[in-house]
Amino acid sequence: MKKKYSVLMSVYAKEKPEYLQEAIESMLEQTVMPDEFVIVKDGVLSRRAGFGD
């Protein structure tokens, strides 16, 4: 049975959208590609971050 590799990331409403982009790019550049990303938002994110309400 293949092991599943997941990445959990919390995104805070007051952080710059650039930080989210950098974090996702970093995860995609890892040696072991995750099977899934779980991104949890804390509060309302701006549209610039790429998330709607």
User: Alpha-carbon dihedral of residues 23, 28, 31, 36, nearest 10 degrees?
Assistant: 100
Q: What is 13-24 written as a DSSP string?
A: TTS-HHHHHHHH
Reduce the DSSP state of residue 36 to 3 states and report it.
Answer: strand
* The model scores a pTM over 0.75: no
Which of 38, 44, 49, 35 is closest to 10 using CA atoms?
Answer: 38
> Cα separation of 10 and 49, whole Å?
13
- Tens-digit pLDDT profile for residues 26-49: 988 989 888 998 988 877 655 555
**Predicted local distance difference test score (pLDDT) of residue 53:** 46
Q: Who has greater pLDDT, 7 or 42? A: 7
